[in-house]
């Protein structure tokens, strides 16, 4: 688990309470803490090159305080520091990145183009028939 941000870096809720951030690699979550309570988390999957954000939750009593937005900002900076790219599957993270494209669009993973071509119906059917013939 990464240590929380320092008091000098204090990010605050809209009503002025300090927010602390941690990363828990065991749970695969970035976490935001307010007044010692878990206020929000952003779940992720990790590969060697990629962080996939798949789910973000804010506890009801902290909604509207900007906690999740600050958490995502902190998490994206952590991704940048790790020299990875990220894939925002979670709608909240995706929306945040879209609203802050100038800051974070360089982190978004883009698949390399391929030389793939569509399989024609007759090709697909031919393979299916061949599989059936070899099974009998």
pLDDT score at 4: 52
pLDDT in tens, 59-97: 999 999 999 999 999 999 999 999 999 999 999 999 999
Is 125 among the domain residues?
Answer: yes
Tokens at residue 78, please?
């952590």
Tokens standing for 133? 């013939």
Residues 88, 92, 97, CA angle at the centre, nearest 5°? Answer: 55
pTM comes to 0.77
pLDDT (tens, 9 = 90+) of the chain, 136 residues, equals 554 554 446 899 999 999 999 999 999 999 999 999 999 999 999 999 999 999 999 999 999 999 999 999 999 999 999 999 999 999 999 999 999 999 999 999 987 777 766 666 655 555 554 555 555 5
Which residues face 52 on adjacent strands?
A: 45, 87
Distance CA(73)–CA(21), nearest Å, equals: 10
Segments forming the whole domain that contains residue 62 = 7-135
The partner residues of 41 in beta bridges, in order of sequence, read: 31, 57
> What pLDDT score was predicted for residue 115?
72
Place of tokens 């009503």: 15
CB neighbourhood size of 72 (10 A): 25
Is 89 a domain residue? Answer: yes
**Is the residue at 2 inside a domain?**
no
At 84 the pLDDT is 96
Residue 70 host element (H or E): helix 67-81
CB 18 within 8 A of CB 34: yes
Q: What is the distance between the alpha carbons of residues 11 and 107, in angstroms, rounded to a whole number? A: 22
CATH of the domain at 131: 3.40.630.30
Indicate if the alpha-carbon torsion angle 93, 94, 95, 101 is positive or negative: positive
Would residue 1 count as lying in a domain?
Answer: no
Residue 17 lies in a domain: yes
């Amino acid at each position: 688990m990464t240590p929380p941000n320092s008091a000098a870096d204090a990010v605050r809720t809209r009503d002025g309470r300090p927010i602390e951030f941690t990363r828990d690699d065991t749970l695969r979550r970035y976490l935001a803490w307010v007044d010692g309570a878990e206020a929000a988390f952003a779940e992720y999957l990790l590969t060697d090159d990629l962080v996939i954000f798949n789910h973000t939750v804010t506890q009801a009593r902290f909604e509207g305080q900007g906690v999740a937005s600050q958490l995502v900002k902190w998490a994206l900076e952590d991704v940048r520091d790790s020299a990875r790219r990220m894939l925002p599957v979670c709608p909240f993270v995706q929306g945040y990145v879209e609203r802050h494209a100038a800051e974070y669009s360089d982190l978004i993973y883009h698949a390399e183009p391929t030389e793939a071509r569509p399989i024609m119906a007759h090709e697909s059917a031919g393979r299916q028939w061949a599989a059936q013939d070899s099974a009998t």
